[in-house]
Amino acid sequence: MNDFKKQTYSDQVAEHVRNEILNGNLPPGAAISEVAIAEELSISRAPVREAMQILIREGLIVSHPQKRKHVKALTAKQIKNSYFTGGVLEAAAVARVLEQYTKEDFLELERIVAEMKAIADTNGPVSDQVPLDNEFHDILFSRIDNNLIVELCRRACQGISKFLLYTHWVKLYTAQQVYKRHRKIIDALRTKDPVTIEQVIRDHYTTSGERMSAYGADVYDG
C-alpha cells in the first residue's frame, strides 16, 4: 500500500488491521502473520511489529511466547464480564458528576437522540447510528475528570462492540430500540438522581452483554 505516509506507517497498519477485524475478514481467533501483512502493504516488517504492539495494548490482538499472534477471541463469560465492568464504571462515574452536565451538553445529547430517531423512523440501518452512539457516550465521558476510568470504560466494551464482534453488535437491536435505549439515558440524566442514572446505565450495558455473550468463542459456531 504505497500511499502510506512514512511517518505514520505503524498507525496506518494498525488502522488497516482494525478495519479487517471490523469487516469480519479477521474474525476472533484468526492468526495474524506480520510477514503477510508487510507483503500485502508493500512495507517492511518494522512498522507492522509496532502496529501489533498498538493493537495488543488495545486488546484486539493477543500474543503468546512461541506462538503466532491472533485476533482476540472471548468466551461468553468474558463478554458478559466486560460489559458488566464497563457499565458499572461508566454508571458510577456519570452519577458522580451529574451536576456538571451543562445545558449545552443536554442540547447535544438531544440532537444526537433526535438523529437516532430520524434514522429509525426512516428504517435506516443501525450502522448509521454507530457514530451517534460514539458521540453520545463521548459527551457522558467529557465531564468525568478521571482519565483512567474513561480509558477502562472504553477498553472494557469498545473493542468488543466496535471491532471484534461488530458484525453481530449492529444486529443486537433494531434502530428504533437503539433510539429508545439512549432516550432512556437522557431521561435518567434529567432526574439528577444518582441511583436512577446508575441503574439505567448499568442495565444499558448488562443487556448488551447478555445478548453479545451468544457470540462467545465457546458457544457460537456460526
21/35 Cα distance (integer angstroms):
18
SS3 at position 1:
coil
| Set of cell numbers at residue 24 | 469480519
Looking at the chain, the domain(s) classified CATH 1.10.10.10 span 6-71
DSSP symbols for 175-198: HHHHHHHHHHHHHHHHHT-HHHHH
Tally Cβ neighbours within 10 Å of residue 151: 12
For the chain, helix, strand, coil in percent to 5 are: 70, 5, 25
Instruction: State residue 5's pLDDT score.
Output: 57
Does domain 6-71 correspond to CATH entry 1.20.950.20? no
Quick count: other Cβ atoms within 10 Å of Cβ 208?
A: 22
- CATH assignment of 76-215, given 1.50.10.10, 1.20.120.530, 3.90.1200.10, 3.40.50.261? 1.20.120.530
The pLDDT tens digits for 132-155 are 999 999 999 999 999 999 999 888
Residues 105-139: tens digit of each pLDDT: 999 999 999 999 999 999 999 999 999 999 999 99
